[in-house]
Structure 1
Amino acid sequence: MAGEGLQQELKKRSPFEVAEQEAMLNLLRTADRLHLEFVRLFREHGLSPAQYNVLRILRGEGGEGLPSLEIAGRMITSVPDITRLVDRLEAAGLVLRDRSARDRRVVRVRVTPRGVDLLSRLDGPVVALHRRLLGHLDAYELGTLNDLLVKARRPPDEGAGVPADA
């Protein structure tokens, strides 16, 4: 039975009500376990995963930076207060804010050389952690996992896959 692993882990006495419930709980439990490893790594460098994500986004943009709302839209996880997150990074000297020359209402956030240096020091450990956590999956399994996760994030078609009596 597919659910025995998670069912046993959770010490759940009865089977899952539907396969979707099992899949959702499996996804949440797995994400939590993997995320915790990244929390530990980034904490050693004075960062949260969200702060690391902001720095990576900004490094990828180069020297021009991005407005805060654009950064928020590119985040891996939703951040309720991007302004406060950027405030902390700025206080640590990892980012700078500048007013746009074209539109003074727009404030752009740029990664500083100190922020780039920190990211450079984290690049190797992050890749090593990815490999440690998922390296036991082969290329085919990783491709399948990625495809399924992308598909799961897409909104379902109206009525597709939903029984009439649901």
Structure 2
Amino acid sequence: MKQQQLQQELKKKQAFQSPEVEAILNVLRTSDQFQNRLGKLFREYGLTCSQYNVLRILRGEGQPLPSLEIASRMVQVVPAITGLVDRLEEQTLVERKRCHKDRRVVYVAITPKGEQLLDEMDNRVSDLHTQLIGHLTRTELTDLNRLLVKARQSCCIDSEATV
């Protein structure tokens, strides 16, 4: 693939200021395009990307979780997990349960309707993942995952330093 691919896509006349700038913009552009495609699929089922993520977390855990635990596991940080859970509860995809030991703690559980919705979506989501990134080899995917994790490490260091 050409070195200036992103530069051409963005119709940028001059070279990027640095390889770091180009890499960040490549990640952001790719993320945006993936989010758009995934978001379109999720909307067909009446969900947002974040709502889908909550349902996947709950299904994967296999038991109710406190709202704050769900928030800490989200792929994308959401400022208001309560509102997100409210909307899923309105659709009867999750239900809230108060903790008997500590009434301040609220657990969220996926309902059978929520599990059924995810089951209906699984093949289409998997197919879209393959369509979006299945052209990469296993080695390329392994390298990509390793490099993205390595790139994110600076975010963890910076956020810990500012706390």
Indicate whether the TM-score tops 0.5. Answer: yes
Instruction: Report TM bin, short chain.
Output: over 0.9
Question: How many Å apart are 1:102 and its aligned residue?
Answer: 2.3
Question: How many Å apart are 1:52 and its aligned residue?
Answer: 0.2
Secondary structure at 1:154's aligned position in 2? helix
Alignment correspondent of 1:80:
79
**Counterparts of 1:38 and 1:17, CA distance in 2:** 31
Alignment correspondent of 1:90:
89
Alignment correspondent of 2:7:
7
Alignment deviations for residues 114-138 of structure 1 (CA, whole Å, 9 cap, x no partner) = 0000001111111111001011101
Alignment deviations for residues 99-126 of structure 1 (CA, whole Å, 9 cap, x no partner) = 1122222110000000000001111111
Counterparts of residues 8-157 of structure 1 (less than 5 Å):
8-63=8-63, 65-155=64-154
For normalisation by structure 2, the TM-score amounts to: 0.92
Alignment deviations for residues 142-162 of structure 1 (CA, whole Å, 9 cap, x no partner) = 00000000000002798xxxx
Secondary structure at 2:21's aligned position in 1? helix
**Counterparts of 2:46 and 2:69, CA distance in 1:** 24
Alignment correspondent of 1:162:
none
Letter in 2 for 1:26: N
Q: Which moved more, 1:85-94 or 1:3-12?
A: 3-12
Give the conservation status (yes or no) of the 8 Å contact 1:3–1:15: no
With over 3 angstroms needed to count, the CA separation of the structure-2 counterparts of 1:157 and 1:38, relative to structure 1, is closer
Number of residue pairs matched by the alignment: 157
Over the residues paired in the alignment, what is the CA RMSD in angstroms?
A: 1.6
Secondary structure at 2:147's aligned position in 1? helix
Letter in 1 for 2:46: G
Question: How many Å apart are 1:2 and its aligned residue?
Answer: 5.8
With over 3 angstroms needed to count, the CA separation of the structure-2 counterparts of 1:149 and 1:157, relative to structure 1, is closer
Write 1 or 2 for the structure with the bigger share of helix.
2
For normalisation by structure 1, the TM-score amounts to: 0.90
With over 3 angstroms needed to count, the CA separation of the structure-2 counterparts of 1:53 and 1:157, relative to structure 1, is closer
Larger radius of gyration between Structure 1 and Structure 2: 1
With over 3 angstroms needed to count, the CA separation of the structure-2 counterparts of 1:71 and 1:129, relative to structure 1, is same
